Amino acid sequence: MRFLIVMLAYLGAMGLARADTLAVDTGRGVRAWTTTELLSRPDARDIRVPGDVSYHATRTYRAVPMKALLPGVPADAHLQFTARDGFAAEIPASLIIDGHGAHAWLAVEPDGAAWPPLGAGKPSAGPFYLVWIDPDKGPVGPEQWPYQIATIKVLPDPAKRFPAMRPDPRLGADAAPVRGFAVFQRHCMTCHTLNGQGDAKLGPDLNIPHSPTEYLRADMFRTLVRNPQNLRRWPQSKMPGFDTHVLSDRDLDDLEAYLKHMAGRKVQP
């Protein structure tokens, strides 16, 4: 009898350890969704995702429409998807609520049926992974496929939350540094802080103590962005390359203009 009690306690503990939960904060309270609850929703379905960004292959998932988990969230809101490792993806709610043909789904890893690992010695993309169907219609960048999601929060615009990131307010809306700030928000602040501000924890600050535009020639800066391994060979590097399908040449020009501009607006954290 004692052995049976111990085994039941052990199995119960194992079950509790595997009870993955996603916290969704829409600004009107937090809703915690368990794996079982999400997979039991009537709108859950099997979807086929060609060209999965994380697995580099066509994958099939059981998933829920992401916008269905965001009732009442306005299209002009900003969503922060925070992963277990600290990766924080900032995605405009408009891209999910009205993606102009790009459809966001929350893929849910079933209990007892783990997805493949993302690489040798790495875990899977589960338990919760934001995937897209027809991402090119968004367009949706590779950094907007966050995986191992732990929380989703509705937050104010990054420009309001992080004033030290903003370019000079005297610049016009179509000035290159202003356009570059928008590029930075889409592609860089998921991993990098600037002037010590931001929620990312993976990459270095892009202005303190120095902006990369201060120590890299223009051609080397572009190499770093397009293919980091062509600049520095580092097997542990997590920085992806941004080809012209994800980041146009004009966007890259604007990003460089923003970083050069901010090099003259350093704020010590």
pLDDT tens digits, 169-185 = 999 999 999 999 999 98
pLDDT tens digits, 149-207 = 999 999 888 888 899 999 999 999 999 999 999 999 888 988 899 999 998 877 899 99
Tell me the whole-structure pTM to 2 decimals. Answer: 0.76
Per-residue pLDDT, 206: 96
pLDDT at 4 over 70: no
Q: Which residue has the higher pLDDT, 75 or 240?
A: 75
DSSP for the chain, written as a single string: -HHHHHHHHHHHHHHHHT--EEEEE-SS-EEEEEHHHHHTSTT-EEEEEEEETTTTEEEEEEEEEGGGG-TT--TT-EEEEEETTS-EEEEEHHHHH--TT-EEEEEEPPTT-PPPPSSTT---S-SEEEEEESGGGTT--GGG---SEEEEEEE--HHHH-GGGPPPTTS-TTSHHHHHHHHHHHHTTTT--BTTBSS--SS--SSSS--HHHHS-HHHHHHHHH-GGGT---TT--PPP--TTTS-HHHHHHHHHHHHHHTTS----
